[in-house]
Amino acid sequence: MSRFHYQDAHFNRARISLRQTVNRYTQQLRSPKRSAATVALQAGLKHDLDQLSDALEKLNHNLLRIAVFGLVSRGKSAVLNALLGQKILQTGPINGVTQYPRSVCWFPTIAGNTMQVELIDTPGLDEIGGQVRESIAREVVDQADLILFVIAGDMTRTEYRALAELQATHKPLILVFNKIDLYPDQDKQTIYRKLQTLFAKNTDHTRPLLAPDDIVMVAAEPAPLEVRVEYADGRVEYEWETPPPQVEELRQLLLTILHREGKSLSALNALRQARETEAAIAHKSLKLHHTEAEELIWQFARWKAIAIAANPIAVLDLVGGAVTDLAMIRSLAKLYGLPMTRYEAGKLLKSILLSSGGLLLGELGSTLLLGVGKSASAVAGSVDPTGLMAYGGAAIAQASLAGYGSYRVGKAAQIYLEQGCTWGPQGANTVIQEIFNQVDPNTIIYRLRREFGQ
């Protein structure tokens, strides 16, 4: 399958995943259950559902967002104007001309098709108040599929820290070195090599992860030059002339990215938003239903203990115990309003057993040994009263282990349900993994795999 077909497949899978998620939580929002926890959860669910709906709407309109960040006076607005080919966004010598995010549309033609790209201009990261700045930046970053970070000259400590924080959001990022017209060629190459060296070694986990190809040099709004004009009559005058912008390197890089992986980037970001939103919903649901969940887990633990204590056949102990744990996991998922099929519950139970460090598996082994002893005691008890005493002791020990094991499974299932609510064939994590497994090694998405939290 070609990368273009992969992009369409990624895009369609993301839409199906989000549509399924939106429908599921829409039904939950309309749930007739009116417990205090349900009412509280539904009150906060509308905002989360709006975010999921916005992400789905963005995919339906085949829209890709590129956000521009940087400190004041680095030429962020000028870079976007140069890409658009006209001065739409205000620029000027005064610091902080852009006081709030502003969006403009760009319609580049790629392989004969016109794409819809939203370019988001942002205030300087060092211009507006701390909390306001962080809130604006976080909202814009969440919406963006690709980030441009604009610098001019040597990178400052503030810029380096801001760049690292932006890259920690797991978004593809391009470093734009602007105002190269102000530097002699030798100085430009020196700064460029310093930038390449700065991001070449990734031993420090706080270091921004940029490849040399992610750094481009532009002159978005070159400074006017004084030129000598000689007339036929011998007069000589000096005029100021503004050279054309030099943004072709950036334009070609963006067009290449949009053509090669634009749809996949849009799909990946929508899925990331869905994953984070669902995780937030799951966290709130677990918190609100904490008391009910504890009662449910203890109830199943008691049922399992009683059933196993009363059952004289060893093999049925294991089967009955597994069925009880599966029913508990699905009941917990239903209580939280999270999706969970019987097959997924089985996978979850297996994961819990395998990740328990052998403790629960050891309990299963002990349960089987005690069950065999209990079965033998039951047979002996039919002819010897001392066998009934042995049966009772084995049954009590086995029931205690079974109840404790069921409680441990329930507590582990709570964690898995909170962290794994995006499982399933159409779950966000599943589709994200598919995208990472299918992209070409020379793409930005391929380099994002480690950052994205696989």
- pLDDT for 68 equals 94
Q: Are 97 and 78 in contact (CB under 8 A)?
A: no
DSSP secondary structure string for all residues of 363-382: HHHHHHHHHHHHHHHHHHHT
What tokens were used for 34? 């009116």
What is the C-alpha separation between 212 and 198, in angstroms, rounded?
Answer: 10
Going by the DSSP 8-state scheme, the letter that residue 128 receives in this structure is S
User: Can you name the residues that pair with 227 across neighbouring β-strands?
Assistant: 239
- pLDDT for 394 equals 55
User: Can you name the residues that pair with 230 across neighbouring β-strands?
Assistant: 236
What is the C-alpha separation between 74 and 189, in angstroms, rounded?
Answer: 19
What is the C-alpha separation between 378 and 384, in angstroms, rounded?
Answer: 10
- pLDDT for 147 equals 94
**Of 145, 99, 144, which Cα lies nearest the Cα of 122?**
99
**What does each of the 454 residues of the chain score in pLDDT, given as a tens digit?**
555 567 888 889 889 888 888 887 777 666 665 566 666 666 667 778 888 888 888 888 889 999 999 888 888 989 999 999 888 876 654 455 555 788 899 998 887 888 899 999 988 877 655 555 667 778 888 889 999 999 987 788 888 888 888 877 888 889 999 988 887 776 667 777 777 677 665 555 555 567 777 888 899 888 888 788 888 888 888 888 888 999 999 999 999 999 988 989 999 988 888 888 877 777 777 777 788 888 888 888 887 777 766 665 555 556 667 788 888 888 888 777 766 667 677 777 777 666 554 444 444 554 444 444 444 444 444 444 554 444 455 556 666 777 777 788 888 777 777 655 555 666 777 888 888 888 888 888 887 776 654 4
What tokens were used for 124? 């300087």
- The one-letter amino acid code at 408 reads R
- pLDDT for 420 equals 55
Query: Residue 239 belongs to what H/E stretch?
Result: strand 236-241
What is the C-alpha separation between 330 and 5, in angstroms, rounded?
Answer: 37
pTM of the model: 0.72
DSSP secondary structure string for all residues of 271-285: HHHHHHHHHHHHHHH
Question: Domains of the chain: which residue ranges?
Answer: 289-419
Q: What angle do CA 29, 32, 35 make, to 5 degrees?
A: 90
- pLDDT for 50 equals 85
**Of 253, 163, 244, 256, which Cα lies nearest the Cα of 217?**
253
Tokens 């002819």 label which residue? 383
Report CA torsion sign: 51, 54, 60, 63: negative
Q: Are 104 and 84 in contact (CB under 8 A)?
A: yes
What is the C-alpha separation between 14 and 384, in angstroms, rounded?
Answer: 66
What is the C-alpha separation between 348 and 427, in angstroms, rounded?
Answer: 15
What is the C-alpha separation between 446 and 438, in angstroms, rounded?
Answer: 9
Helix axes 290-310 and 248-288, enclosed angle (nearest 10)? 60
Q: Locate the DSSP E strands across 143-209.
A: 146-151, 173-177
- pLDDT for 146 equals 94
What is the C-alpha separation between 21 and 29, in angstroms, rounded?
Answer: 12
